[in-house]
């Protein structure tokens, strides 16, 4: 009899806290838009400007983009170039985290050898602005692909998913807005159970963690 009471109490507590967590999430989800700092159209304009000026020097282009974003969003851009591998959804590339917070990230992502995989399905909108190369994508059931060329922006809407490919090589300025921590399981699971690359895992958590703390100290979530 006592064990049944304990089980019932445990279930009641579980449902209480689960309901509370859902209520808090839904409440915060209604106001998260007020936390956004970046504008995807501004990011695309900055990218297109520097593509036009420095398309013959990809690394210089990236640094100029970072510098322009630092002018547009002072104090919120990481100017130090520090790359880390990223394995997610079967695709592999490397990224430079320009900004990381609880509700947004801005990175430069890409690969000189090409890759393909699953985009992920998020509680966030993702904007992928090509700096070099192409990105191909399609939805389940489509018989033709979308092609995003240099300077163009691919918007993966919240809750949507696609297969994508960067053929041969490509780099992009990527911006996500929504609940970024909820993207981490997809972003880290391949590293945990497939590549088992603890060095990459450490540096990913270090760079994102430092970015979050820096933003929170500025009152940015």
Tell me the pLDDT of the chain (221 aa) as tens digits. Answer: 555 655 666 655 555 444 544 444 444 455 557 889 999 999 999 999 999 999 999 999 999 999 999 999 999 999 999 999 999 999 999 999 999 999 999 999 999 999 999 999 999 999 999 999 999 999 999 999 999 999 999 999 999 999 999 999 999 999 999 999 999 999 999 999 999 999 999 999 999 999 999 999 999 99
- State both tokens at 177: 């807005």
Q: Residue 79's closest CA among 71, 87, 89, 88?
A: 71
Same domain, 18 and 107: no
Same domain, 120 and 203: yes
pLDDT of residue 130: 98
Q: Residue 217's closest CA among 107, 98, 76, 81?
A: 76
Contacts of 105 (CB under 8 A, 6+ apart): 97, 99, 174, 175, 176, 180, 208
Same domain, 12 and 77: no
- CA 162/CA 166 separation, integer angstroms: 13
- CA 187/CA 174 separation, integer angstroms: 14
pLDDT of residue 34: 80
Same domain, 7 and 106: no
Same domain, 179 and 95: yes
37-78 pLDDT per residue, tens: 999 999 999 999 999 999 999 999 999 999 999 999 999 999
Same domain, 77 and 61: yes
Q: How is residue 33 annotated by DSSP?
A: G
Same domain, 26 and 60: no
Same domain, 88 and 181: yes
- State both tokens at 17: 């806290």
Question: Domain of 25?
Answer: 2-32
pLDDT of residue 29: 55
Q: Residue 116's closest CA among 157, 84, 162, 159?
A: 162
Total residues belonging to the chain: 221
pLDDT of residue 16: 47
Same domain, 113 and 211: yes
pLDDT of residue 22: 42
Same domain, 137 and 199: yes
Same domain, 9 and 117: no
Please write down the HEC assignment for all residues of 135-196: EEEECCCCCCCEEECCCCEEEECCCCCCEEEECCCEEEEEEEEECHHHHHHHHHHHHHHHHC
Query: Within a 10 A sphere around the Cβ of 214, how many other Cβ atoms?
Result: 16
pLDDT of residue 199: 97
Same domain, 26 and 135: no
For residues 130 and 170, is the Cβ–Cβ distance under 8 A? yes
- CA 109/CA 160 separation, integer angstroms: 20
Domain count, the chain: 2
């Amino acid at each position: 009899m006592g064990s049944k009471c304990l089980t019932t109490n445990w279930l009641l507590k579980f449902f209480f806290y689960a309901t509370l967590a859902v209520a808090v999430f839904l409440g915060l989800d209604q106001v998260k838009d007020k936390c956004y700092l970046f504008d995807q159209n501004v990011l695309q304009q900055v990218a297109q400007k520097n593509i036009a000026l420095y398309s013959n020097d990809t690394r210089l282009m990236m640094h100029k983009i970072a510098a322009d974003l630092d002018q547009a969003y002072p104090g919120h851009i990481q100017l130090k170039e520090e790359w880390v591998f990223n394995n997610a959804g079967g695709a592999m590339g490397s990224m430079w985290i320009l900004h990381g917070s609880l509700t947004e990230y801005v990175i430069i992502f890409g690969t000189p050898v090409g890759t393909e995989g699953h985009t992920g399905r998020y509680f966030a909108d993702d904007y992928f602005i090509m700096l070099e190369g192409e990105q191909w994508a399609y939805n389940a059931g489509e018989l033709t692909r979308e092609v995003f060329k240099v300077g163009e922006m691919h918007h993966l809407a919240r809750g949507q998913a696609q297969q994508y490919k960067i053929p041969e090589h490509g780099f992009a300025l990527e911006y996500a807005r929504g609940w970024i921590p909820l993207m981490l399981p997809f972003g880290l699971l391949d590293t945990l159970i497939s590549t088992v690359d603890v060095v990459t895992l450490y540096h990913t958590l270090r760079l994102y963690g430092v970015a979050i703390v820096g933003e929170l100290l500025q009152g940015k979530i």
